[in-house]
């Protein structure tokens, strides 16, 4: 792209230069980093000394700039580097930030904004109120197009192996949109109630709030969402997607199979699940005890899948998945899990009363009655399955339940809360103890012959290897022994068609989950080995994605599955706020009772209040929560979450930098209490309070919403002040304060206004008269610098100052609102724009005008000009004149280069 | 009933209108007016989104009239005309109704009254719109040449700036040499550049340029025509006065300022040793920074600030601040202290207005030994000669508890401000608007800072208001930009809302010619009959001629008698 002039920054200066150059016939590109043109002026109330409304001055210029035939505008874009090329022209690299909204389609209707569930401080209202993550910068924005602020993927969502948008459902639950939250999770997986109870919740481990008081109870929030939805909808709505006429078989109805079936059915495939067991659900059904995961929850989770028309055939074992093609299936997904218990390889394993844990748990879960009243049960193993078995044994009436584990507690792979739960229910633990054989009295087991172990050197996996202690053999009496030492896949019958790994798992392409038979895909534990529900669900979703592509005849490699923004930097998230209110996490409550005899759920659900409180602790790390409400509600279908940033290179003959100024951060003057005392605000905040688009529709003080009646202005806050390294005057603060005086006296006729000043610098045309007018209207001007501000209990503020006009004595005065008339500072970012040539700064770090007397706007780089406050603080009329001069200089430069050719 | 299809849009203007006018009620009251097919309200009608909505409505509903009730047409008339044009509607079928400046802002104490007035005003606007006809702007080819009046630093720099853009310049200077005030200056603040050198550099440049014609000892004495194509008459002095006539596309006025001249006795002016800042600056420039008075070295100087500026009392007080003088005075003090570090300098000020980066000069002056004393406007310093014939200044210092201080001084410098030049002849020729402060007035300090109400006549430099040299140059270049943005296009479009004379009715009585302030009505022929004819390029559409015509032959396009009458009827209609 080729332009005559590139203008960086579209404040009032940049727009003025652009419009005039465009009128002269030059091709102009304006690059603006914000989502709207207009700079800071559009945010002001009225402007001195004519008291025109800033919007009225700005909006026509904003509209004219964007509609001008000779001007192109790139909003939400940043110039990264400007270099002079060999032909003498400048090339600029511009980064177009993704807005995630297709601007051509967006109508500015604000539906996305109104349905967005993330609130962040509204920088366009000086952080006094909140705006949404999906937002239009301000009502007069040009172009009036929405932007979605996404700083990255929130860590909770990013870490989820299934790709569940944890932040999204937390944000939805926060505003009580439980149905939408449920639907959002259902986008990813159907096993919502199950995950809400039995997920190991890696999201919580990544929660940024974890480094403050502790993470959000994300899993339990999910459970609340599922419970609420299931209570209100005992049966799901049956809805059969339009069929595409192809059939897919899913072998196995665990979390992987169910998740894949859901996605495939949604795509219009006719899906049939084959399940070897008598009931569907896989490990959710068979392995996890009901006190942890009630089986009606599993039933309801499964209904999410069958509601889409998916058929489940139970008691149907598939020996050869590849052969399903002959039954008319176009593709097969194998998700048969790890149903085979590993043997201990000790004598007596086949005695009566010795059972593997999976068999034991399945029997109970499928409704068999086993009475262990008065019995002693030994459970061998240290994983979650072992603990589950032990706790089930307790519930079946066992008098004594012993978990025998060959390492110590620290090495135990079971979740610590499961171990603690078991302990509280009366399970005994024998650590560093291993079975040597099971001793039978005839066919029935009566004891375990055990040996004491000690921890030796770490093994290949890094865990210390248990070594038997010689001579420590002993017996543990047992009526029943449950072995829980690992599970494996049952793939012997697949061998003929599918390639397997050594450990019996199915060999797949890790990227696509395709097996050696192209139309057969596999995922879940049968591929990964024993894992977690949420991992299996993730595999199911992934398999469905690639099966769909496969069946559509699309390329599988490089398909861009699961495109996400990189995770946000948690340190940056925490740095957004100076301090955090302490919000302790909701305590985990489990109903645990020694010798419990029933299978009722142990974990207490969160109350709705707990959910509100907990979701309120969310830090909205990624800003956008990906809750997808904007996508659902945008009438123009304009939301595009896959939008990526773009880099373009443009060429221009001349450059105008109109990058504006920064406001002084009033909190640096600690003695004035900004940021500490709520009723001390900045001049910009007062301007927002007075603006036509004001946040509260009146002037009020932030501390308690009271309408102030005695307002103080502290001039020269951050200007003419060596202690904050800004020795110069900011030119505008006196006058904007005088303007605010007049506006306040108009808005609040009874309010007193006092201005504490050093010199009132009303120097330009009409300014002195404007200042005198404020005095005549009743503003009280006190010469004297304010030394400090103190807050009283009622929120009022006491100012300590030197009353120079009255003998110079030290005085105090009480006010109910203090406005710090903050000054302007240079925007140093401009100096990073250029490479290979140096843009020089003046003594005060503004862009240096090398020959201000005769060539205003000319910088140290030939062909680069500066407009407006980038070269020094200026009021609006001076900025506009300066921008006009910059335009004349740039035009003259372009003409000179044309003529020299 | 009207067969027109009119869209009406009523603006909240944030709260500027809707805080006082019940916008919803207004919409309800006007939506049934004859011809109205769309009636909507909007938070900001000028916003891009609402503009788009209007464009869509106009296209979809085939509107043939547009009414926006918002702010003054001074702000947004062109904005909405442009909306109409974008939508394919003739821009002159648009009417702006001002319900802000002329309604909500003026009736903040009477909300029902303001609402009723808004309804009436909008009804009037709708009635006018219903009788609008499509009009085309009058297109005039522009002359790529600019007349600049005044060859001070602003005029010279503007001439070079225009020449850079291949626009020819006629530069007219009243005095015998170009250069203006800066030509008389040595070191200038803040960069220490030498004024004389800058000017000679510029004058050389001007002389080098083939497309700049400089007339010295010359004055603009006549102007006719309009923006894009003025005919100007210049009287060039010399042995024989010559009159030069030329065509130019625009005119830039850069006639500068005059120093405030204190009255005799004002702050001791007239006493030997009491000088103005300009006089002191000349003394510094001519003595290498070490001026002497009557052969005696000057060891102590007292500066009295705000002489002739920020006056609150007296006849015709200069209420304004002269902007440059604080900076210039501290700069003079720095110069003096650099030449003689032992010099004692006292500054009696009201507010030190060393704005922006000039604060550094103020700091430097203090660092170099200047003492600053704040006096009250109510008790100004007194300057007298003591018995020994030495100057003494008596002042109450507000910075030290109002203590009365008597300062003996070798020299008292009255820090005098800028006053507008008396330029009556030029004002007459160009019809230049003069502000409250008697400087020339821009249309709008932010929207149109170098334009005047006379289309094509621009102002820059200190004739618009006090400025320092660099600021004058910036405003001069801004005027260059403004001229070029019009002339580079090659043509201008003038408002077609001008007078039209029905030749059949005209009885050529001369009354209209006398009423026209722009000499736009000439005599012409119509079917062999002598009639009055409107020169379209000159007529401003002021309407002065229409009511005086005894034959009722004159109508104003866009504001015909029919339109005015129907507006009055609509406004007077009962509000239910």
> Which residue does chain A place closest to B81, by CA atoms?
A60
What angle (nearest 5°) sits at the alpha carbon of residue A726, between those of residues A723 and A730?
A: 135
- Are B351 and A761 in contact (CB < 8 Å)? yes
Two tokens, residue B47: 């916003």
Whole-number pLDDT of residue A370: 93
Chain A: nearest CA to B1, how far in angstroms?
35
- Are B474 and A143 in contact (CB < 8 Å)? no
Interchain contact A55–B (C-beta under 8 A): yes
**What residues 712-731 of chain A have any CB closer than 8 A to a CB of chain B?**
720, 727-731
Mean pLDDT of B74-94: 92
**What residues 427-456 of chain B have any CB closer than 8 A to a CB of chain A?**
435-437, 439, 444-447, 449-450
Answer whether residue A578 shows pLDDT above 90. Answer: no
**A251, A321 contact by CB (below 8 A):** yes
> Which residue does chain B place closest to A719, by CA atoms?
B356
- Are A884 and B474 in contact (CB < 8 Å)? yes
- Are A844 and B357 in contact (CB < 8 Å)? yes
Whole-number pLDDT of residue B46: 83
Answer whether residue B98 shows pLDDT above 80. Answer: yes
Interchain contact B363–A (C-beta under 8 A): yes
CA-to-CA distance for A241 and A266, rounded, in angstroms?
Answer: 6
Residue carrying structure tokens 């008291």: A51
Interchain contact B474–A (C-beta under 8 A): yes
Interchain contact A890–B (C-beta under 8 A): no
> Which residue does chain A place closest to B377, by CA atoms?
A805
CA-to-CA distance for B309 and B267, rounded, in angstroms?
Answer: 13
Interchain contact B321–A (C-beta under 8 A): yes
Interchain contact B491–A (C-beta under 8 A): no
Contacts of A230 by beta carbon, 8 Å cutoff, 6+ apart: A193, A297, A300
CA-to-CA distance for A41 and A47, rounded, in angstroms?
Answer: 9
pTM given for the model = 0.89
Burial A606-625 (b: 16+ CB within 10 A, else e): beeebbebbbebbbbbbbbb
Answer whether residue A383 shows pLDDT above 70. Answer: yes
Answer whether residue B533 shows pLDDT above 80. Answer: yes
Mean pLDDT of B548-576: 94
- Per-residue DSSP letter, B166: T
Answer whether residue A643 shows pLDDT above 60. Answer: yes
Give all strands (DSSP E) within A459-560, no chain letters.
464-468, 474-477, 480-483, 487-488, 520-522
Interchain contact B419–A (C-beta under 8 A): no
**What residues 69-98 of chain A have any CB closer than 8 A to a CB of chain B?**
none
Two tokens, residue A717: 């806050």
CA-to-CA distance for B42 and B49, rounded, in angstroms?
Answer: 10
Chain B: nearest CA to A715, how far in angstroms?
14
The distance in angstroms from the start CA to the end CA of chain A is 20
Whole-number pLDDT of residue A59: 87
Two tokens, residue A114: 């109104």
**A312, A281 contact by CB (below 8 A):** no
- Are B449 and A876 in contact (CB < 8 Å)? no
Query: Helix or strand or coil: residue A783?
Result: strand
Interchain contact A895–B (C-beta under 8 A): yes
CA-to-CA distance for B565 and A647, rounded, in angstroms?
Answer: 60
pLDDT digits (tens, 9 = 90+) for A31-77: 999 999 999 999 999 999 999 889 888 988 998 999 899 999 999 99
Give the closest of B49, B360, B444 to A727, CB-based: B360
Closest CA to A879 of B446, B442, B461: B446
- Per-residue DSSP letter, B50: H
Give A339's strand partners: none
Strand (E) or helix (H) holding B65? strand B65-70
- Are A877 and B465 in contact (CB < 8 Å)? no
CA-to-CA distance for A108 and A581, rounded, in angstroms?
Answer: 36
Long-range pairs, B317-321, Cβ under 8 A, ≥24: B318/B260, B318/B417, B318/B419, B318/B437, B319/A768, B319/A769, B319/A772, B319/B436, B319/B437, B320/A765, B320/A766, B320/A768, B320/A769, B320/B437, B320/B465, B320/B466, B321/A762, B321/A763, B321/A764, B321/A767, B321/A768, B321/B353, B321/B417, B321/B466
Two tokens, residue B327: 């900076």
Quick one: what percent of chain A has pLDDT higher than 70?
100
**B399, B351 contact by CB (below 8 A):** no
What angle (nearest 5°) sits at the alpha carbon of residue A829, between those of residues A850 and A24?
A: 60
Q: What are the DSSP calls for A602-632, one per residue?
A: -BPPPPHHHHHHHHHT---TTBS----HHHH
> Which residue does chain B place closest to A806, by CA atoms?
B401
CA-to-CA distance for B351 and A760, rounded, in angstroms?
Answer: 6
- Are A761 and B353 in contact (CB < 8 Å)? yes
What is the predicted ipTM? 0.87
pLDDT digits (tens, 9 = 90+) for B178-203: 999 999 999 999 999 999 999 999 99
Give all strands (DSSP E) within A620-688, no chain letters.
646-657, 661-663, 680-682
> Which residue does chain A place closest to B443, by CA atoms?
A50
- Are B164 and A895 in contact (CB < 8 Å)? yes
pLDDT digits (tens, 9 = 90+) for A817-875: 999 999 999 999 999 999 999 999 999 999 999 999 999 999 999 999 999 999 999 99
Instruction: Tell me what the pLDDT averaged over chain A comes to.
Output: 95
CA-to-CA distance for A95 and A93, rounded, in angstroms?
Answer: 7
pLDDT digits (tens, 9 = 90+) for B260-303: 999 999 999 999 999 999 999 999 999 988 888 888 899 999 99
Mean pLDDT of B468-488: 97
Query: Helix or strand or coil: residue B327?
Result: helix
- Are B356 and A729 in contact (CB < 8 Å)? yes
Two tokens, residue A870: 């980038």
> Which residue does chain A place closest to B72, by CA atoms?
A56
**B214, B178 contact by CB (below 8 A):** yes
Cβ contacts below 8 Å, chain A against chain B, sum to: 250
**Residue A510, Cβ density class (10 Å: 0-12 exposed, 13-18 middle, ≥19 buried):** exposed
Give the closest of A768, A808, A874 to B320, CB-based: A768
Give the closest of A769, A805, A872 to B319, CB-based: A769
CA-to-CA distance for A277 and A358, rounded, in angstroms?
Answer: 13
- Are B357 and A24 in contact (CB < 8 Å)? no
Q: How many C-beta atoms surround the C-beta of residue A455 within 10 A?
A: 16
Contacts of B88 by beta carbon, 8 Å cutoff, 6+ apart: B58, B59
Q: Which residue has the higher pLDDT, A83 or A559?
A: A83
Interchain contact A56–B (C-beta under 8 A): yes
Interchain contact A592–B (C-beta under 8 A): no
Q: What are the DSSP calls for A293-329, one per residue?
A: S-HHHHHHHHHHHHTTT-EEE-S---S-GGGGGGGT-
**Residue A96, Cβ density class (10 Å: 0-12 exposed, 13-18 middle, ≥19 buried):** middle
Q: At what angle do helices A166-174 and A608-616 cross, to 10 degrees?
A: 120
Interchain contact B480–A (C-beta under 8 A): yes
Q: How many C-beta atoms surround the C-beta of residue B382 within 10 A?
A: 12
Whole-number pLDDT of residue B44: 85
- Spacing of C-alpha A164 from chain mean position: 13
- Are B450 and A884 in contact (CB < 8 Å)? yes
- Per-residue DSSP letter, B103: I
Answer whether residue A86 shows pLDDT above 70. Answer: yes
Mean pLDDT of B83-94: 96
CA-to-CA distance for B510 and B521, rounded, in angstroms?
Answer: 9
**What residues 755-794 of chain A have any CB closer than 8 A to a CB of chain B?**
759-769, 772, 783
Chain B residues whose beta carbon lies within 8 Å of the beta carbon of residue A807: 401-402
**What residues 502-541 of chain B have any CB closer than 8 A to a CB of chain A?**
none
CA-to-CA distance for A176 and B24, rounded, in angstroms?
Answer: 33
Give B425's strand partners: none
Chain A: nearest CA to B412, how far in angstroms?
23
Whole-number pLDDT of residue B16: 85
pLDDT digits (tens, 9 = 90+) for A878-894: 999 999 999 999 999 99
Quick one: what percent of chain A has pLDDT higher than 90?
91
- Are B477 and A885 in contact (CB < 8 Å)? yes
In a 13 Å sphere around the CA of B421, the CA atoms on its Cβ side amount to: 19
Interchain contact B14–A (C-beta under 8 A): yes
Radius of gyration over every alpha carbon of chain B, rounded to an integer in angstroms: 30
- Are B475 and A23 in contact (CB < 8 Å)? no
Whole-number pLDDT of residue B1: 53
Task: Name the pLDDT band for A460 (thresholds 50, 70, 90).
Answer: confident
**A317, A490 contact by CB (below 8 A):** no
Closest CA to A126 of A674, A849, A799, A894: A674
Chain A residues whose beta carbon lies within 8 Å of the beta carbon of residue B464: 765
| Phi, psi angle pair for A694, to nearest 5° | -60, 150
Interchain contact B320–A (C-beta under 8 A): yes
Answer whether residue B107 shows pLDDT above 80. Answer: yes
């Amino acid at each position: 792209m080729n332009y005559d002039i590139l203008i960086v920054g579209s404040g009032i200066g940049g727009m003025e230069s652009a419009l005039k150059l465009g009128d002269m016939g030059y091709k102009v590109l304006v690059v603006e980093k914000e989502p709207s043109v207009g700079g800071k002026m559009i945010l002001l109330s009225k402007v001195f000394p004519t008291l025109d409304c800033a919007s009225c001055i700005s909006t026509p210029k904003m509209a004219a700039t964007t509609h001008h035939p000779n001007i192109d505008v790139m909003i939400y874009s940043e110039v990264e580097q400007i270099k002079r090329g060999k032909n003498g022209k400048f090339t600029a690299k511009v980064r177009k930030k993704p807005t995630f909204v297709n601007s051509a389609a967006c109508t500015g209707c604000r539906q996305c904004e109104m349905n967005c569930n993330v609130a962040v401080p509204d920088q366009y209202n000086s952080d006094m109120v909140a705006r949404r993550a999906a937002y239009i910068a301000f009502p007069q924005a040009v172009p009036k197009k929405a932007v979605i602020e996404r700083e990255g993927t929130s860590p909770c969502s990013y870490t989820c192996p299934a790709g569940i948008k944890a932040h999204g459902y937390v944000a939805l639950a926060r505003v009580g949109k439980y149905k939408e939250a449920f639907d959002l999770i259902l986008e990813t997986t159907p096993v919502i109630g199950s995950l809400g109870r039995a997920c190991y919740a890696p999201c919580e481990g990544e929660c940024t709030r974890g480094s403050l008081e502790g993470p959000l109870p994300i899993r339990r929030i999910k459970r609340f969402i599922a419970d609420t939805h299931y209570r209100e909808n005992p049966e799901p709505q049956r809805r059969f997607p339009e069929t595409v006429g192809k059939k897919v078989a899913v072998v196995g109805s665990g979390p992987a199979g169910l998740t894949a079936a859901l996605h495939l059915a949604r795509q219009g495939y006719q899906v049939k699940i084959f399940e070897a067991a008598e009931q569907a659900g896989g490990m959710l059904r068979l392995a996890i005890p009901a006190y942890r995961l009630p089986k009606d929850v599993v039933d309801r989770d499964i209904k999410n899948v069958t509601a889409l028309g998916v058929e489940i055939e139970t008691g149907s074992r598939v020996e050869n998945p590849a052969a399903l093609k002959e039954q008319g299936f176009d593709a097969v997904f194998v998700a048969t899990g790890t149903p085979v218990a590993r043997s201990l390889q000790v004598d007596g394993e086949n005695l009566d009363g010795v059972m593997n844990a999976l068999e034991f748990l399945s029997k109970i879960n499928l409704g068999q009655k086993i009475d262990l009243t008065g019995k002693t049960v030994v459970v061998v193993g240290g994983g979650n399955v072992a603990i589950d078995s032990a706790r089930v044994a307790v519930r079946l009436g066992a008098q004594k339940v012993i978990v025998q584990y060959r390492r110590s507690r620290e090495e135990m792979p079971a979740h610590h809360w499961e171990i603690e739960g078991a302990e509280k229910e009366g399970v005994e633990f024998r650590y560093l103890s291993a079975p040597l054989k099971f001793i039978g009295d005839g066919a029935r087991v009566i004891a375990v012959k055990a040996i004491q172990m000690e921890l030796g050197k770490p093994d290949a996996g890094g865990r210390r290897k248990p070594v038997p202690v010689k001579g420590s053999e002993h017996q543990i009496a047992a009526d029943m022994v449950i072995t829980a030492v690992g599970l494996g896949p049952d793939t012997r019958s697949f061998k003929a068609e599918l390639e397997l790994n050594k450990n019996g798992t199915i060999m797949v392409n890790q990227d696509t989950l395709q097996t050696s038979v192209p139309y057969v895909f596999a995922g879940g534990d049968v591929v990964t080995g024993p894992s977690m529900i949420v991992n299996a669900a993730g595999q199911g979703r992934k398999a469905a994605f690639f099966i769909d592509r496969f069946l559509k005849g699309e390329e599988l490699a490089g398909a861009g599955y699961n495109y996400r923004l990189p995770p946000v930097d948690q340190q940056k998230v925490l740095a957004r706020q100076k301090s955090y209110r302490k919000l302790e996490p909701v305590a985990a409550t489990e109903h645990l009772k020694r010798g419990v005899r029933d299978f009722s759920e142990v974990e207490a659900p969160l109350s709705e209040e707990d959910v509100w409180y907990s979701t309120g602790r969310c830090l909205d790390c990624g800003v956008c929560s990906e809750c997808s409400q904007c996508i659902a509600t945008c009438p123009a279908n304009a939301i595009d979450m896959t939008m990526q940033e773009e880099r373009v290179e443009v060429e221009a003959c001349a450059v105008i930098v109109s990058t504006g100024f920064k406001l002084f951060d009033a909190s640096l003057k600690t003695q004035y209490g900004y940021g500490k005392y709520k009723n001390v605000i900045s001049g910009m905040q007062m301007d927002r309070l007075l603006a036509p688009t004001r946040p509260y529709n009146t002037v009020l003080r932030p501390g308690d919403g009271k309408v102030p009646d005695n307002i103080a202005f502290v001039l020269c806050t951050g200007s003419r002040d060596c202690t904050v390294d800004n020795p110069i005057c900011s030119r505008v603060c006196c006058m904007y304060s005088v303007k605010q005086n007049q506006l306040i006296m108009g808005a609040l006729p009874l309010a007193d206004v006092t201005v504490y000043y050093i010199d009132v610098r009303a120097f330009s045309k009409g300014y002195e008269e404007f200042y005198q007018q404020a005095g005549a209207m009743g503003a009280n001007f006190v010469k004297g610098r304010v030394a400090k501000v103190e807050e009283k209990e009622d929120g009022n503020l006491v100012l300590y100052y030197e009353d120079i006009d009255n003998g110079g004595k030290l005085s105090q005065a009480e006010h109910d609102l203090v406005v710090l008339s903050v000054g302007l500072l240079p925007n140093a970012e401009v100096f990073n724009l250029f490479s290979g040539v140096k843009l020089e700064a003046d003594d005060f770090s503004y862009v240096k005008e090398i020959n201000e007397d005769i060539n205003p706007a000319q910088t140290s780089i030939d062909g680069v000009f500066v407009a407006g406050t980038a070269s020094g603080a200026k009021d609006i009329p001076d900025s506009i004149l300066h921008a006009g001069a910059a335009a004349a200089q740039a035009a003259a430069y372009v003409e000179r280069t044309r003529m020299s050719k | 009933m009207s067969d027109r299809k009119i869209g009406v849009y009523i603006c909240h203007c944030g709260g500027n209108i809707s805080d006082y006018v019940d916008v919803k009620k207004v919409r309800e009251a006007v939506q049934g007016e004859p011809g109205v097919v769309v009636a909507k309200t909007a938070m900001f009608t000028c916003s891009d989104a609402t503009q788009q909505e209007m464009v869509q409505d106009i296209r979809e509903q085939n509107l043939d009239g547009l009414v926006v009730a918002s702010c003054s047409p001074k702000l947004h008339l062109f904005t909405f005309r442009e909306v109409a044009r974008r939508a394919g509607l003739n821009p002159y079928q648009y009417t702006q109704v001002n319900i802000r400046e002329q309604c909500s802002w003026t009736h903040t104490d009477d909300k029902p009254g303001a609402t009723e007035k808004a309804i009436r005003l909008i009804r009037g606007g709708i009635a006018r719109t219903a009788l609008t006809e499509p009009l085309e702007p009058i297109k005039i080819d522009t002359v790529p040449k600019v007349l600049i009046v005044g060859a001070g630093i602003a005029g010279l720099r503007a001439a070079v700036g225009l020449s850079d853009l291949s626009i020819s310049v006629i530069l007219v200077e009243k005095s015998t040499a170009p250069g203006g005030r800066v030509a008389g200056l040595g070191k200038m603040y803040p960069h220490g550049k030498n004024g004389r050198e800058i000017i000679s550099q510029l004058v050389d440049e001007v002389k080098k340029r083939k497309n700049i014609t400089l007339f010295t000892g010359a004055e603009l004495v006549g102007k006719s025509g309009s923006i894009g194509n003025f005919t100007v008459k210049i009287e060039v002095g010399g042995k024989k006065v010559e009159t030069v006539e030329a065509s130019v596309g625009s005119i830039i006025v850069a006639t500068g300022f005059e120093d405030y001249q204190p009255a005799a006795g004002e702050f001791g002016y007239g006493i030997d040793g009491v000088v103005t800042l300009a006089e002191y600056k000349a003394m510094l420039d001519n003595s290498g920074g070490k001026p002497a008075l009557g052969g005696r070295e000057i060891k102590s100087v007292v500066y009295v600030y705000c002489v002739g500026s920020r006056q609150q009392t007296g006849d015709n007080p200069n209420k304004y601040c002269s902007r440059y003088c604080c900076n210039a005075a501290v700069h003079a003090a720095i110069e003096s202290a650099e030449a003689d570090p032992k010099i004692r300098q006292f500054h009696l000020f009201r507010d030190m207005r060393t704005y922006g980066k000039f604060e550094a000069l103020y700091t430097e002056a203090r660092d170099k030994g200047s003492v600053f004393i704040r006096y009250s406007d109510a008790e100004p310093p007194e300057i007298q000669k003591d018995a020994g014939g030495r100057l003494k200044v008596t002042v109450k210092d507000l910075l030290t508890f109002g203590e009365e201080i008597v300062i003996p001084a070798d020299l008292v410098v009255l820090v005098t401000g800028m006053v507008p030049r008396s330029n009556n002849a030029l004002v007459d020729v160009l019809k230049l608007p003069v502000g409250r402060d008697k400087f020339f007035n821009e249309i709008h300090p932010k929207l149109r800072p170098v334009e005047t109400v006379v289309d094509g006549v621009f102002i820059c430099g200190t004739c618009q208001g006090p400025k320092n040299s660099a600021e004058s140059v910036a405003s001069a270049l801004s005027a260059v930009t403004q001229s070029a943005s019009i002339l580079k296009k090659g043509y201008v479009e003038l408002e077609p809302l001008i007078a039209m004379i029905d030749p059949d009715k005209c009885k050529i009585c001369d009354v209209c010619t006398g009423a026209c302030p722009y000499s736009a009505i000439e005599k012409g022929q119509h079917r062999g009959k002598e009639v009055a004819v409107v020169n379209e390029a000159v007529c401003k559409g002021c309407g002065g001629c229409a009511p005086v015509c005894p034959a009722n032959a004159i109508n104003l396009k866009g504001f015909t008698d029919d339109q005015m009458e129907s507006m009055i009827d609509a406004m007077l209609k009962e509000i239910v």
